[in-house]
Amino acid sequence: MKYIIANWKMNPSSLKKAETLFQRIEKGLQGLDLLDKKIVICSPYLYLFKLLNFKLTQEKPATLLYNKQILNFGAQNCFWEDNGAFTGEISPTQLKEIGVEYVILGHSERRRELGENYEMVSKKIKVSARNNLTPILCFGSNSRDIKKEKQEIQEQIKTVFTNLSDLNDLSEKIIITYEPIWAISANKNSVPANAKRAQEIIYFIKNIIKDYNIQAKSYIYGGSVDSKNIRSFVNQDSISGVLVGGASLISEEFLTIVENV
């Protein structure tokens, strides 16, 4: 299975624009070959409920996208408890209840801007998985020095998985993303990772994760993916999908990416 995850981040600026973008994507998908592909739209929380309702009002053939779980919804974060006195937070239970199936966890922007760390991410994974949400777990460093990058990623993985006890329950339930921070398009002077390097790091991650007896559902790459470089990434045998930020906000661009995965 190949995953194409759209991370809209804190965009677009209005519900109207979010609806238009979503409708264009939904319409465009109907003309594509989507065999073995899953598309996940991770919009801001505010829009999720409205977008989820579109699927209830659709006629065929759009319903096929939902009945076959080709088009799905994800959140960009969640909290680590099911409910309670946690002002401003949203729980995995609440997300699941409205029909969300995926959640991005450990994104570097949350780590940088909000002080999120991998101990927190670890707790979030546990509660997400218990609620049958699929965590899209991000690992990545800001170092372009491959040795340092590997060391940092190894530490991140260790923190996440040593803090989780019932690891067996997680097997085949998580998607792992290699997300080099220096490759994220919104970051100054960003450069997309070279596909060979992405392949090497993903093999490295796969190897370490084996020590924790975890099997991920899929390993994907994220960082300045666009319609021009998509083939170079998915041509690598370790990469079975992409996390797309900026390019997922332009419907034609995103649809071309989906087509080429």
Residues 6+ apart with CB under 8 A from 124: 77, 78, 79, 80, 92, 103, 105, 135
User: How would you label 171-180 residue by residue, b for 16+ Cβ within 10 Å and e otherwise?
Assistant: eebbbbbbbb
Give the CA dihedral 17, 22, 27, 30, nearest 10 degrees: 160
Task: List the catalytic residue out of 26, 59, 107, 116.
Answer: 107
Measure the CA–CA gap between 238 and 190, rounded to whole angstroms. 23
Residues 6+ apart with CB under 8 A from 21: 8, 12, 249, 251
Question: Which one of 64-72, 75-83, 87-95, 216-224 is the stretch in contact with ligand PGA (CB under 6 A)?
Answer: 216-224
* Residue that the structure tokens 């999720």 belong to: 48
* 42 near ligand PGA (CB under 6 A): no
Query: What's CA 257's distance to the chain center, in Å?
Result: 15
Q: Which two tokens stand for residue 241?
A: 């999908």
Question: Which one of 52-60, 115-123, 156-164, 179-187 is the stretch in contact with ligand PGA (CB under 6 A)?
Answer: 179-187
Binding residue (CB under 6 A) for ligand PGA from 100, 184, 201, 255? 184
* 224 near ligand PGA (CB under 6 A): yes
The burial of 74, by beta-carbon neighbours within 10 Å (0-12 exposed, 13-18 middle, 19 or more buried), is given as buried
Contact (CB, 8 A) for 50 and 19: yes
Q: Which is nearer to ligand PGA, 62 or 225 (CB)?
A: 225
* 12 near ligand PGA (CB under 6 A): no
* 223 near ligand PGA (CB under 6 A): yes
Size of interface with ligand PGA, in residues (CB under 6 A): 14
| Residue nearest ligand PGA, CB atom distance | 245
Q: Which is nearer to ligand PGA, 72 or 224 (CB)?
A: 224
Binding residue (CB under 6 A) for ligand PGA from 105, 170, 243, 255? 243
Binding residue (CB under 6 A) for ligand PGA from 12, 180, 222, 241? 222
Binding residue (CB under 6 A) for ligand PGA from 179, 180, 219, 254? 179
Q: Which two tokens stand for residue 192?
A: 């997309």
Q: Which is nearer to ligand PGA, 62 or 157 (CB)?
A: 157
Could you confirm whether 107 is annotated as catalytic?
yes
Binding residue (CB under 6 A) for ligand PGA from 234, 244, 255, 261? 244
Measure the CA–CA gap between 191 and 124, rounded to whole angstroms. 30
Could you confirm whether 252 is annotated as catalytic?
no
* 186 near ligand PGA (CB under 6 A): yes
To ligand PGA, the closest distance from the beta carbon of 16 in angstroms equals: 23
| Nearest in space to 118 (alpha carbons), one of 162, 177, 180, 184 | 162
To ligand PGA, the closest distance from the beta carbon of 67 in angstroms equals: 29
Residues that bind ligand PGA (CB under 6 A): 7, 179, 184-186, 222-225, 243-247
Active-site annotation, residues: 107, 179
